[in-house]
Structure 1
Amino acid sequence: MCLSMKKICYLVMCVFLTLCIGEQASAASFRDVPEDHFAYDAITWAERYDIINGYADGTFRPSDTITEQQFAKLLANFYELESPEDELIKHTTIANWSDDYYNRLASYGVPLNGYFDYGIRATAVKRGVVAQAIAHLANGKSGLDASIQFLLDYYISTGQNPQYENRHLQKFFGATNNLTRAQVILMLHRMHERNFYAISEDAQSTHDSLESLLIRAKHAQLQLDASLHLTTPTKSAWEGVYAYYYKWGQSLDDINRREAVIANVTTKGFTVAMTANDGAADGHVEGTATMTSKTKAILTQTSNGQRCVIELEQLPQALKITEVDCRSFRDEGVTFSGTLKKQ
């Protein structure tokens, strides 16, 4: 059994079959990636292990600026991340080829901007976002500076502006600059050479958590450095993350927690995901709430069409939640009711 690790499987096959001619056969098939290209070996490797594919015209376009959704695909493929059971509720219900990759990355809490917006996904990804996303999976939750330093320490990437070396880390790295498709592949190839395939404890614990995909994606967005944030403009005071947390004992279950994430706000309603924990009892519900007034809304059914009635009221920097009837979505001993502060 190959343990789903295509890289190891290939090496084992090569040793046992002694197919050295395989190296010749595995040359990059893209007509715009000649053997003297600086990223030729990396692109050849990535194509061999199905991390990348090219365009219909037989090109890879290595010098093109890489978008966030293209990077999301590469990163999810490199780590062979598992797909979660649920899916993100986005600003539009239209399907997009990148949906599965963003669902997988959200499941592990990877810092990215485009979880809910196709327009943001299609914009150029900044070097700082790439640094934080890679460092999160390989080394755990990190701020921008720590993420950049991780890449530099292991020579996964190098700085762009030598005049700032030892003076200004983010400017030295070029955190707000764009990358090409070839540059990102080169980073991942160096990750491969240094055997950075193990997923960090932070990322794995996020994947194993009971929080909804929407909540994990929102937290992942907030993990990005403020200088890298790209969000869909909203004038609604409803939108945001709301939470209440109280620890009353030493056990892991000795907590009272309420959390709600409101997104995709229109004049008619918004999507909402809510989680509640009281000790070992918990519950989760996700759906679309309908506005009943400027400051009030009501959820009457979940995203899969099941009955669940919860009233929501907007307060100054807070959200009041009153469960009316949502028993099938929670354990006995916990309700979704409470007043949560905006984070």
Structure 2
Amino acid sequence: MKKNKLTIIVTLVLLICFSSTAAMAANVRYSDLATDHWAYQSIYKMSAQNIIAGYEDNTVHPDNNITEFEAICLAVRIMGLDSKTAQVAKGEYLPFTIPDWSGAYETAVVAYNSDLIDAEDFSHNQAASREWITKLLIKILGKENQVNSAANELTFTDT
């Protein structure tokens, strides 16, 4: 009898734990993201991992181009650098402009100090091109040296 009670208690505790996790993930709803949207699964997975936060109006604008600064915000979160934003002191010089968002300055400082932003090739409100995103991904993966050395070894030319 004691074994049955223990089994029931453990089962209930596990159900409560897992159902609350699922409920928290289910609470993330974006008013402009249909369940049949091609990016639905990816957006919700990244939301559950706190990589995508959406906009203040509970939207995510899934069909808009991502800006360079939005891509930087994702990179900072993917790399786990967002915890460093709390340590940023106001007044650090940034050689580029940033959006007027809550937390944008701190994110920009962390990204700039982590060499994710090249000030000469950055415009916060510009749509991020595939080339720009590729360069950012190389930085996130820490493969800049490999890519640079491989680029020097190319033996073909485009026609």
For the criterion TM > 0.5, the same-fold answer is yes
Q: Does 1:121 align with 2:127?
A: no
Match of 1:101 in 2: 107
Residue 68 of structure 1, CA deviation: 0.7
Q: Does 1:139 align with 2:142?
A: yes
CA–CA distance in structure 2, aligned partners of residues 112 and 91 of structure 1: 9
Equivalenced residue count is 130
Per-residue Cα deviation, 1:279-302 (whole angstroms, up to 9, x for no partner): xxxxxxxxxxxxxxxxxxxxxxxx
Q: Which has the bigger relative contact order, CA under 8 A and spacing at least 6?
A: 2
Q: Is the 8 A contact 1:30 1:58 kept in 2?
A: yes
Cα distance in 2 for partners of 1:58, 1:51 equals: 15
Aligned-pair CA distance for 1:50: 2.4
Please tell me the root mean square deviation across aligned C-alpha atoms, in Å: 3.5
| 1:134-167 Cα deviation digits (max 9, x unpaired) | 22121321548x79xxxxxxxxxxxxxxxxxxx9
For 2:65 and 2:43, locate their aligned partners in 1 and report how far apart those are by CA, in whole Å: 15
Give, as a single letter, the amino acid of the residue that structure 2 aligns with 1:107. Answer: N
Q: Which whole-Å CA distance do the structure 1 matches of 2:106 and 2:88 have between them?
A: 11
**Closer/same/farther in 2, CA of residues 114 and 45 from structure 1, 3 Å limit:** farther
Instruction: Note closer, same or farther for the CA distance 1:47–1:110 as it changes in structure 2 (3 Å cut).
Output: same
Residue type of the alignment partner of 2:127: A
Question: Contact 1:111 / 1:132 at 8 angstroms: preserved in 2?
Answer: no
Partner of 2:10: none
Instruction: Report deviation, 1:64.
Output: 0.7
Residues 1:39 and 2:39 aligned together: yes
Which has the higher Rg, Structure 1 or Structure 2?
1
Output the CA distance in 2 between the equivalents of 1:85 and 1:127: 30
Structure 1 partner of 2:95: 90
Task: Report the AA paired with residue 58 of structure 1.
Answer: N
Query: CA contact under 8 A between 2:51 and 2:77: conserved in structure 1?
Result: yes
Q: Which amino acid aligns with 1:63?
A: D
More strand, by proportion = 1
Per-residue deviation, 1:122: 0.8
Once the two structures are superposed, residues 52-80 of structure 1 have per-residue CA deviations (whole angstroms, 9 ceiling, x without a partner) of 22234322110011111111111111212
Partner amino acid for 2:95? K
Residue 106 of structure 2 aligns to which amino acid in structure 1? Answer: D
Deviation at 1:121, TM superposition (A): 0.9
Q: Distance in 2 between matches of 1:42 and 1:95?
A: 25
In structure 2, the gaps of 5 or more residues are 1-12, 152-156
Quick one: structure 1 residues 114 and 35, their matched pair in 2 at CA, closer, same or farther if it must change by over 3 Å?
Answer: farther
- The answer on 1:60 being equivalent to 2:65 is no
TM-score (norm 2): 0.62
Output one character per residue of 1:156-201: Cα deviation in whole Å (capped at 9) or x when no partner: xxxxxxxxxxx96xxxxxxxxxxxxxxxxxxxxxxxxxxxxxxxxx
Deviation of 1:48 (Å): 2.0
Task: Within 5 Å, give how 1:1-343 maps onto structure 2.
Answer: 17-18=14-15, 19-20=18-19, 22-23=21-22, 26-27=25-26, 28-81=28-81, 82-83=84-85, 87-90=92-95, 96-97=100-101, 98-113=104-119, 120-142=123-145, 143=147
TM normalised by structure 1 equals 0.32
Q: Distance in 2 between matches of 1:105 and 1:111?
A: 6
| Structure having the larger proportion of residues in helix | 2
Look up the SS of the partner of 2:127 in the other structure: coil
Aligned sequence identity (%): 21
Q: CA deviation at 1:125?
A: 1.1
Measured after TM superposition, the shift of residue 114 of structure 1 is: 6.7
Show structure 1 runs of 5+ residues with no match: 1-15, 148-166, 169-343
Matched residue SS, 1:121: coil
